[in-house]
Structure formats: structure tokens, C-alpha cells
Structure 1
Amino acid sequence: MSREDLAGRQAELLHALLADGPAPAGFDPDRLRVEATVLRRKHGRVLAYQRPELAEALGERFGPLFAEFNRGRPKKAAERSGAYADEFVTWLIEGGHLPKPKRRLVDRLRRR
């Protein structure tokens, strides 16, 4: 298999895992869905660890809201976690899940 072919297969696998793409040939779609769920939850835990004030403000709503956000906007492989967290904060505010904060709070929530 050439490097180009391998890169294409890897891209298909990442698309299936991170963006609900179709399972590449040779992969079990059910197992990929399980793995995709695990990766999404991991991204949510990392985000909650990086932004504890956000997780605290949302409480029990954090997990379901992050899952909803992530389904519509999966994290890209090379994307910085801080930039992704900033998009989540913006999505929460625009969706009315968090009140529009004063400027200082926005700066704290988007500290990176």
C-alpha cells in the first residue's frame, strides 16, 4: 500500500470516528460507533478538566450539551483544545444555555 493510499484510509477512519462518516471498508460499523462515542466522551472530559468553571456552571447539563455540540461540530484531529473549547462556549451562549456573560467572564471562559 502506498503512502497516499494509507493516508486516504487514515482520513476515512478519522472521518468515521470524529464526524459520523461511513465506516471504511474492512471496519465493523458497530464497533466504530462505540469507539466514536468513547472519543467524544474523552474530548468532553478533557474540556471539563481544562475549563472547570464551565463544567461547574453547567453541572449535570455539561455532558448532554457537549454531546449535542460535538455531534454538530466534531473536533478536528489537529485542532487545539483551547480553540475548540472557545467554540463550545460561544455555542452555549448563542443557544441560551449560558447567559451572556460580562466581558471578564468571557475572558476567563476563553482563556486560551
Structure 2
Amino acid sequence: MSRERLARQQAELLRALLADGPAPEGFDATRLRVEANVLRRKHGRVLAYQRPELAEALGERFGPLFTEFNAGRPKRDTERSGEYADEFVTWLVAGGHLPKRRRGWLTRIWRR
């Protein structure tokens, strides 16, 4: 198998797992959806770990809001977690789930 073909197949798999792309040839679409959901929940846990102030500020709303955000804007395969967290915070503010940036606790959430 050529490197180019392998790279193409890996990119197709990442699109299926991270960006709701179609299942690559030879993969079970149902199983890929299960794995994609697991990865999305993991991204949410990583984000909550990286930004504990954010998770604390949202409380029980964190999980459902992250799920909603992630459904409309899945994490890209080349994207760093911090960048993705920043976009989540921007989305939360735009949606009225968090107040606009100001000094104090929210500044810590916006730390990047």
C-alpha cells in the first residue's frame, strides 16, 4: 500500500470520526458512529479538565451545551484542544449562555 493511499484512508477515517463524514470503505458505519460519539464525549471531558472554571460556571448545563456546540462544530483533526475550547467559549457567549468577557472569573475562562 502506498503512503499516499494510506494517508488518504486515514484522513477519510478521521473525517468519519470527527466531522460526520461518510464511513470509509471497509468500515461499519454504525460502529463508527458509536466511536464518534465516544470521541465527542471525550473531547467534552478534556475541555472540562482544561477549563475547570468554565465547567464550574456552567454546572449541569456543561454537557448538554457542549453536545449542542459539538454537533454543529465538530473538532477538526488538525485543531488543538485549546483553540477548540476558545471557540466553545465564544459560542457560549454568543448564545447568551455566559456573559461577555470582563475582568475576573470569566477572564480566566478566556485565558487564551
Band of TM-score, shorter chain: over 0.9
TM-score relative to the length of structure 2: 0.93
CA distance in 2, matches of 1:78, 1:67: 20
Say which SS state the counterpart of residue 21 (structure 2) adopts.
Answer: coil
The match for 1:71 is 71
Deviations 1:65-89 (Å, cap 9, x if unpaired)? 1111111111122212111111000
CA distance in 1, matches of 2:71, 2:103: 28
- Worse-matched range after superposition: 73-82 or 2-11: 73-82
The match for 1:27 is 27
How do residues 97-108 of structure 1 correspond to structure 2 at under 5 angstroms?
97-108=97-108
How many residues were matched structurally?
112
**Residue type of the partner of 2:36?**
A
- Does structure 2 retain, via aligned residues, the 8 Å contact 1:85–1:110? no
CA distance in 2, matches of 1:6, 1:41: 27
The match for 1:81 is 81
**Residue type of the partner of 1:39?**
L
- Does structure 2 retain, via aligned residues, the 8 Å contact 1:17–1:33? yes
Deviations 1:11-60 (Å, cap 9, x if unpaired)? 11000000011111110011000000000000000000010110011111
Gaps of 5+ in 1: none
The match for 1:93 is 93
Say which SS state the counterpart of residue 49 (structure 2) adopts.
Answer: helix
Quote how far apart the aligned CAs of 1:104 are: 4.2
The match for 2:55 is 55
RMSD across aligned C-alpha pairs, in angstroms?
1.2
Gaps of 5+ in 2: none
CA distance in 1, matches of 2:7, 2:69: 28
Identity fraction in percent:
79
Quote how far apart the aligned CAs of 1:107 are: 3.0
